[in-house]
Amino acid sequence: MSTAEQYAGSCLCGAVRYEIHGKIGDIMQCHCSKCRKANGSAYAANAPVARADFRFTAGEDALKKFASSAGTQRCFCGHCGSPIISIKAETPDFYRLRIGTLDTPLAQRPVCHIFAASKAEWEQIADDLPQYAERP
Ligand SMILES: [Zn+2]
Ligand SMILES: [Zn+2]
């Protein structure tokens, strides 16, 4: 990667594609019950991306949105169900990217676990990253 950071990503079926021209913020592994449901897994790996740096290059019309709470919209591919971003009303300038959809290799590593108090009883967090009971 040269001076400007640039990333690309897509959903499982490839209908939805996006590019990021800018920085990907701190990766947090969210263990809240909603992220677990939305991902069908132990946690979601999410990172903030400035809305101004993010654009859909294909399939924006295939996106479906679900309001999982009053202030949060989760956007996923309507064909294959891949979660792509969430949008929080309280931080309208940022998307929370589901970094598992990136196609570009990412040099950075997760920084912490959030909503660790809500983690699945069967999950063992096996690294030394800080764990926060909720969002710090
Ligand atoms: Zn898809
Ligand atoms: Zn969550």
Ligand nearest to the CA of 80: 1
Domains and CATH numbers, the chain: 6-118 (2.170.150.70)
Ligand nearest to the CA of 77: 1
Ligand nearest to the CA of 46: 2
C-alpha 34 – ligand 2 centre gap (Å):
6
Distances (CA, A) of 132 to 31, 40, 66, 87, 113: 10, 21, 26, 21, 6
Distances (CA, A) of 104 to 2, 6, 31, 52: 14, 8, 24, 19
Amino acid identity for residue 49 in this structure:
V
Distances (CA, A) of 105 to 30, 31, 125: 21, 23, 24
122-135 per-position pLDDT tens digit: 999 999 999 999 99
C-alpha 11 – ligand 1 centre gap (Å):
4
84-114 per-position pLDDT tens digit: 999 999 999 999 999 999 999 999 999 999 9
5-27 per-position pLDDT tens digit: 999 999 999 999 999 999 999 99
